[in-house]
Amino acid sequence: MQRIAFYAGSFDPPTNGHLDIIAGGLNLADKLVLAIGIHHAKQPLFSFEERVSLLHGSIEACFPDHIAKIDIIAFDGLLIDKAREIGAKILIRGLRDATDFDYEMRLAGMNKMLAPGIDTIFIPAQARTRHLSATLVRQIATMRGDLSSFVPGVVRTALIDKFDNKKAIS
């Protein structure tokens, strides 16, 4: 039977930290489903379609041999409901620090009660990416900082375009 892992996030935008976790998920599962959370109350920097395209571009650049193992989908309700619906047995989460740990342990506990057949697996962030968050990447992009150590090339280009266009419009 195919072992399906589910990795959810906002990926707004995808960072090298997300890609490290994707690499770990690829080691653990036959199929890795990347689920982009759509929160109607939150206005993302990149649209769902843009985030799909950035994830695709990043995966093509970083894991060209694993493209067939990865699906990208949207979800707008409880992530555990979506994970169950697609038949996942593993929830992948990344852990950067103690703040992530406290939140993620609570989330894992609640998810286990909601779906006992699905287990959370934590992948620790690597030293070179543990300081990274999409929020900080967006802030650095706003101020035209150097993004090359934080995101794949395709994301860096999209961030530069996004903020150059915004400047041109305002």
Minimum CB distance to ligand ADP smaller for 13 or for 31: 13
Nearer to ligand ADP (CB atom), residue 96 or residue 162: 96
User: 13-46: string of b/e by CB count within 10 Å (b at 16+)?
Assistant: bbbbbbbbbbebbbeebebbbbbbbeeeeeebbb
Token match 């038949």: residue?
87
What is the distance between the alpha carbons of residues 136 and 95, in angstroms, rounded to a whole number? Answer: 16
By CB under 6 A, the residues from 68 to 127 that bind ligand ADP are 93-94, 96, 100, 125
**Which residue number, 3 or 128, has a Cβ lying nearer to ligand ADP?**
128
How far apart are CB 54 and ligand ADP at their closest, in Å? 12
Asked if 142 is part of the footprint of ligand ADP (rule: CB under 6 A), the reply reads no
Residue whose CB is less far from ligand ADP, 69 or 96: 96
CA 24 centroid distance within chain: 12
Site for ligand ADP contains 18 (CB under 6 A): yes
Q: Does 149 bind ligand ADP (CB under 6 A)?
A: no
Q: Distance between CA atoms of 79 and 170, rounded to whole angstroms? A: 37
Nearest to 107, CA basis, from 89, 125, 94: 94
Structure tokens at 7: 């990795």
Task: Choose which of 4, 10, 44, 75 interacts with ligand ADP (CB under 6 A).
Answer: 10
Q: How many residues bind ligand ADP (CB under 6 A)?
A: 19
Name the minimum Å distance from CB 1 to ligand ADP: 25
Strands annotated E in 65-145: 70-75, 90-95, 119-124
Binding site for ligand ADP (CB under 6 A): 9-11, 15, 17-18, 20-21, 93-94, 96, 100, 125, 129-130, 132-135
